[in-house]
Amino acid sequence: MIVKPTVVELLDKAENRYSLVIATAKRARQISRGSKPMTDKEDVSPVTLAADEIEEDKIKIYNQAQWDEREKEKENNTNGQN
């Protein structure tokens, strides 16, 4: 259970609650499988660690349009270096 940061506090980091919950769950799963947390906070809960990372802007939550634009920019940058 997330105590701090709360869902309400994190909502400005995501388009909606669904996106926030999905991103937090995916990152928590990565942490529980051995991925090193990107926060200096210590907690035993992977969900809380994931929420802390989102709060600290170590994790960015993209909607589909933002993701597509990000990928297009990466592709353009890669093509421009060749």
Residues 1-21 have a mean pLDDT of 86
CATH code, domain with 58: 3.90.940.10
The answer to the question of residue 2 being in a domain is no
Which of the given ranges, 27-31, 41-45, 69-73, has the highest pLDDT on average?
27-31
The token duo for 82 is 């060749």
Confidence (pTM) = 0.79
The answer to the question of residue 1 being in a domain is no
51 lies in which domain range? 7-80
Q: Please answer whether residues 63 and 19 qualify as being in contact, where contact means their C-beta atoms are separated by less than 8 angstroms.
A: yes
The answer to the question of residue 62 being in a domain is yes
